[in-house]
Chain A
């Protein structure tokens, strides 16, 4: 079963605007990871945030984690055409087998 659910399922914005994607999950986690997938480079890891962290930055990416609401958000600032891709959150549940469970993804389109 899918642990994480991304929202929205699809997002279309103009180049230069900011894009925000959200992920909600059901059970307590050890960490949450964001991945990007496009046809050119396949599935690529973006950021890992641990359950005791609230915010992390990497270049134009900012990830927040709210464990009380069981949710995370990914913000991409000053979007570029190359950011067009599907974005997935993946959670590592604290209980049970150690494995990543991916959500359905958000399809982001950056319009020039």
Chain B
């Protein structure tokens, strides 16, 4: 089966600019996650969707980050405006299970550099 797809793979922007990331989960997976991974650290959950509803967004900086999952399939994560500390890899994952009962399947990530 096809894996989790993400685009773009790399993005370089200047601070205060906007950027958007796209994720297409594995077909049929109900739960979709966006993680931020800063160099040298483990992934940190930003937002979790079940179908097209938000389950957890407690660690999403809502003043600058937004995410949506249209029709319970694809998802986009947007940063506006970007700050230097947003430089990180943004990982999308999906799971056929609800919550955290099962394994998560990760995409290749988008490496964001904010200059």
Q: Which residues of A contact B (CB under 8 A)?
A: 2, 30-31, 33, 42-45, 48, 88, 90, 92, 97-105
Contacts and interface: CB of A to CB of B under 8 A. Distances in A.
B44 A92 contact: no
Nearest to A3: B42
Contact of A98 (B42, B99, B105, B106): B99
A97 B93 CA distance: 18
B43 interface: yes
B95 to A, nearest CB: 10
Contact of A102 (B43, B48, B105): B43
A33 B103 contact: yes
Given A2-B42, A88-B42, A105-B42, A42 B107 contact: yes
Contacts of B41: 104-105
Given A97-B58, A99-B45, A100-B45, A42 B100 contact: no
Contacts of A90: 42
A48 B104 CA distance: 10
A33 B101 CA distance: 10
Contacts of A2: 42
B105 A45 contact: yes
B25 interface: no
B103 A48 contact: yes
Interface string B67-93: 000000000000000000000000101
Given A42-B91, A98-B55, A100-B100, 10 more contacts: A42-B109, A43-B91, A45-B103, A92-B99, A92-B100, A97-B58, A99-B56, A99-B100, A101-B45, A104-B40
Contacts of B109: 42-43
Contact of A99 (B40, B48, B91, B106): B48
